[in-house]
Structure 1
Amino acid sequence: MPLRYQPMPSDLAARYRRLEPDAYGLAPERHVSDGQGMPCRHCLANIAAGDPYLILAYRPFPELQPYAETGPIFLHAEECTAYAGADVPPILTTSRDYLLRGYSANDRIVYGSGAVTAVEDVTTRAGELLEQTDIAYVHVRSARNNCYQCRIERA
């Protein structure tokens, strides 16, 4: 099944770069990258050493509801190009495994869909989940810290 890896929406990334409030109503924090494990959720690539970045609370859901998880993410402080490739993005190649979880069209977790998945099996597992009619999209999260990475949809 062809997949599409979705980054944070560009309009939202632009708002955060203007230091508009995050999901907790706070201004994003500005830092300088040491180049170690700071994946940007807009270009879906690691933030290079010396580059400025933002840390902010992100809720990748359209509205508040019981399953709308919020957590910390990194974002290039300067404009970057939104990831638009069909291949596995760079940020999903830096860990040995990730948590994949399916969500319904009304943004609720589909119980039984969540599993820690080896990096080499992410594409296969996402495709299997998206073959289920009750799953509209898949979130990829850190298997260790539960940080949101990106969304996977049917292409």
Structure 2
Amino acid sequence: MQHGAPDAYGRIPERNISDGDGVPCRHCLKNVEAGEPYLVVAYRPFPDLQPYAETGPIFLHARECERAVEVESLPEILASSDYIVRGYGSNDRIVYGSGGVIATDAIAARAEILFERDDIAYVHVRSARNNCYQCRIERG
């Protein structure tokens, strides 16, 4: 999309200039600095369309940036006090009863508890205020 590809709705990304506050790039997982251009795109973090395949806005640096390295710690963009943490099955559907608003410093522990269940394949971390997709935690 940083090269002009359409978003999940087939639209060209919107372009804005960051004020430096609360514009986390979902590709590099770093904040877009004040004065830098960024893209607002519709993103669906699921492989196929289906009733549980939520689509929502995310931000990306307008310039190319390196994809965040997969690590075993939470990304620095998770600066809010709490987030929705919710499990999904291998069929990409919500596993009912797995979701909750969790304090940021308890996200890793909550993911570990969820991964004790055989029916949870991965976990999404989403904004507790707006349900925006933040990142995915893999079983591992």
- Map of 1:5-154 to 2, 5 A cutoff? 16-84=1-69, 85-92=71-78, 94-154=79-139
Secondary structure of the structure 2 residue equivalent to 1:90: coil
C-alpha distance in 2 between matches for 1:31 and 1:79: 15
Tell whether the 8 Å contact from 1:130 to 1:153 is kept in structure 2 after alignment: no
Secondary structure of the structure 2 residue equivalent to 1:117: strand
Could you tell me the percent identity over the aligned residues? 65
Q: Cα distance, 1:147 vs. partner?
A: 0.3
Deviations 1:30-51 (A, max 9, x none): 1111101011111112111111
- Structure of greater relative contact order (alpha carbons < 8 Å, 6+ residues apart): 1
C-alpha distance in 1 between matches for 2:6 and 2:66: 22
Tell whether the 8 Å contact from 1:56 to 1:74 is kept in structure 2 after alignment: yes
The one-letter code matched in structure 2 to 1:123 is A
Secondary structure of the structure 2 residue equivalent to 1:39: coil
Structure 2, unmatched stretches of 5+, are none
Secondary structure of the structure 2 residue equivalent to 1:125: helix
CA RMSD of aligned residues (A): 0.9
State the number of aligned residues. 139
Q: TM-score, normalised by structure 1?
A: 0.87
Secondary structure of the structure 1 residue equivalent to 2:138: strand
Secondary structure of the structure 1 residue equivalent to 2:26: coil
Q: TM-score, normalised by structure 2?
A: 0.96
Task: Looking at secondary structure, tell me which structure has more helix per residue.
Answer: 1
Structure 1, unmatched stretches of 5+, are 1-15
Deviations 1:23-70 (A, max 9, x none): 111100111111010111111121111111100100000010010000
Q: Cα distance, 1:79 vs. partner?
A: 1.3
